[in-house]
Amino acid sequence: MVENILPPVDPKANLRDYNATCQSFNWKEVEQQFSWSRTGKVNIAYEAIDRHAQDPDRANRFCLIYEDEGRRERITYHQMRDLSNKFANVLKRLGVEKGDRVFIFLPRCPEYYIAMVGCAKVGAIFGPLFEALMEVAVRERLSDSGAKVLVTTPKMAARVPFSELPELRHIILVGAGNIILRPGEVSWEEEMARASYEFDIEWVDLEDPLYLIYTSGSTGKPKGVLHVHRDMVGYLITARWVLDLKDGDVLWTTAEPGWITGTVYGALAPWLCGVNNLVRGGRFDLEGWCRSIETHRVTVWYTAPTVFRRLMAQEEVMKKYNLRSLRHILSVGEPLASEVVYWGRRIFGVPIHDTWWMTETGMIMIANYPSMPIKPGSIGRPFPGIVAAVVDDQGRELPPLTLGGLAIKRGWPAMMRGIWRDEERYREYFSIEPWYISGDIAYMDDDGYFYFQGREDDLIKVAGVMVGPTEVEEALRRHPAVADAGVIGKPDPLRGSVIKAFISLKPDFTPSEGLKEEIREFMRKYFSPRIVPKEIEFRPEIPRSEDGGVIRRVLKAWELGLPA
């Protein structure tokens, strides 16, 4: 347990009194903030875009400030209403109806976001796809979903095996130029040019599907997680209380729209709040990213620990830019090391606030709030209205400082409504009533703060003691020679398992047996001998996912000599 506590950074945050709010919170009161609570007409596209387009104070705010190496574009809420109406008309002309699946396979670009809103207006289910997916992954997702329409580019279309997807009727190509279109293909630019600006939104039920997002997990085929229009209730209030969004803010969420963070907090949630929203295309570029924060005066930044580690390694570059517009910084994707929290406070003047949620939960569930003390190393406390606990295999709540499964009492508005075409897989998440079983391992301290310790499959049993890899990895990264680390359990005939660490070194250090022993000695300050890594292997870098998590299945493949 981390004893150091950082004081609140903003006692005037939107969520002023966490404890009092938890006592009185009611989801029904949040629902009253939507127009559908009065009109009965439901569609997230209206609440996120059209409602603001009709408001003189918000119509000309930028729902999308887009930039990449060669493109700069600003789209107001008023313009997004018109552009999404046009795309909705394109879909209607192609025969898309309520409940049809329309997948978006694009790099980050304005068309991605226009397509998302247009799909919602038609009542179609949109499916965001990560731009780096290759042919097999694309085929699995389009086939499983029964996608009717795909929005992509000519270059990315080369990764789509059309002949193996009989349900895919139409391909909308962005940037088709003068290429000859094949049967079933249409040009985005030509279709949008001829489409009307006027469109009558398809009104839906709160439980009607909104989007279908696929997540791979570590084993098995990709699973399509289904979310509905009611999710907007959770999006709005978490954006206000966790991201602390206020009128005049500029939010930058760096996640790709093909990941749920990019879909929810990179688009839908800030739009529901009616704030200015930045999207930057292309790959990570330290100077470019710092320049974007300075130029657009970003006030709220939601990114991943991987980004902070890169920034920490090139701190001198950051000093060339004025980043003081940042008043609130958040992290997601993997545990945030305590030293990063302190580093953030030194560099930006505010600490970095960790958050925890999943594709399946649909919204932020546990967080550190700007008006609440931070315990560096903790993912924070449950969002008001959320009941979280650490439980055993039978669903019994465990006492503080006991390692167990992180579970959420079911019933929050953004909870997934199904796994596409796999009801049995969906029921497994709720196999122990009344809990949603996350598959994450954590413990809770006496003050109700949670500490993530890894995935259930990642737990290591050493001499009868369960060890969470995250805590070991964080300790390893505190050694002055260690740039990054990942650990796994390795079978051992006497102890059941021993810990093996894969370590990448900082540039000024050279691998050696002496350095391995020095690192082990350093670790003995934190852990008993059985938890100190028995084996250490140096690697150029540690494999990490797009959202920053250590990919331990790759570490295990290295250990077994299998393809990674």
Kindly write down the DSSP assignment for every residue of 7-42, as one continuous string: PPS-TTSSS--HHHHHHH--HHHHHTTSTHHHH--B
Predicted pLDDT at 564: 61
195, 226, 257: which is the final residue of a domain? 226
Residue 540 lies in a domain: yes
Name the DSSP class of 47: I
- Two tokens at 88? 């909705």
User: Does the pLDDT value for residue 219 go beyond 50?
Assistant: no
Reply yes or no on whether the pLDDT at 530 is more than 80: no
Q: What is the pLDDT of residue 133?
A: 86
**What is residue 226's predicted lDDT score, i.e. its pLDDT?**
98
What is the per-residue pLDDT for 118?
98
- Gap between the terminal Cα atoms of the chain: 34
Verify cis geometry, omega within 30 degrees of 0, for the bond prior to 434.
yes
Q: What local confidence, expressed as pLDDT, does residue 465 receive?
A: 63
The angle that helices 77-93 and 110-122 make with each other, rounded to 10 degrees, is 60
Question: Which pLDDT band holds residue 163 (cuts at 50, 70, 90)?
Answer: very high
pLDDT the model gives residue 454:
76
Distances (CA, A) of 549 to 283, 335, 410: 18, 8, 26
pLDDT of residue 237 exceeding 80, the answer is yes
487 occurs within a structural domain: yes
Give the residue numbers spanning the domain of 500. Answer: 459-560
Q: What is the dihedral of CA 279, 281, 286, 292, to 10 degrees?
A: -40
Q: Are 379 and 452 in contact (CB under 8 A)?
A: yes
Residue listed under structure tokens 């602390």: 244
Q: What is the mean pLDDT of the chain?
A: 93
- pLDDT, tens only, 375-414: 999 999 999 999 999 999 899 999 998 888 999 999 999 9
15-18-19 Cα angle (round to 5):
150
**Alpha-carbon distance 68 to 325, whole Å?**
21
Please give the structure tokens belonging to residue 119.
Answer: 């799909």
Q: Determine the average pLDDT of the residues in 230-246.
A: 98
Task: Using DSSP bridges, classify how beta strands 300-303 and 328-331 pair: parallel, antiparallel or unpaired.
Answer: parallel
Percent of the chain with pLDDT over 90: 78
Residue at 255: amino acid letter: A
pLDDT, position 252: 98
Q: Is residue 196 part of a domain?
A: yes
- Asked if residue 536 belongs to a domain, the reply is yes
Q: Is residue 512 part of a domain?
A: yes
In a domain, 508, yes or no: yes
Cα–Cα dist 298/305, whole Å: 18
For residue range 319-374, what is the model confidence (pLDDT) as tens digits? 999 999 999 999 998 778 888 999 999 999 999 999 999 999 999 999 999 999 99
Cβ of 408: how many Cβ atoms within 10 Å? 24
DSSP 355: E
Within-domain flag for 359: no
**Residue 37, domain member (yes or no):** no
**552 neighbors 488 (Cβ within 8 angstroms):** yes
Outline where 429-537 has alpha helix (H). Answer: 469-477, 513-523
Task: Confirm if 503 and 479 have CB atoms less than 8 A apart.
Answer: no
Structural domains in the chain (count):
2
List all residues 6 or more positions away from 381 whose beta carbon is below 8 Å from its beta carbon: 18, 366, 367, 368, 369, 372, 448, 449, 450
pLDDT in tens, 41-90: 999 999 999 999 999 999 999 999 999 988 999 999 999 999 999 999 99
- The set of long-range contacts for 47-56, using a CB threshold of 8 Å and a minimum separation of 24, is 47/232, 47/272, 48/117, 48/232, 48/268, 48/271, 48/272, 49/77, 49/80, 49/81, 49/84, 49/117, 49/271, 50/81, 50/201, 52/77, 52/271, 52/274, 53/77, 53/78, 53/80, 53/81, 55/274
The predicted pLDDT at position 497 comes to 79
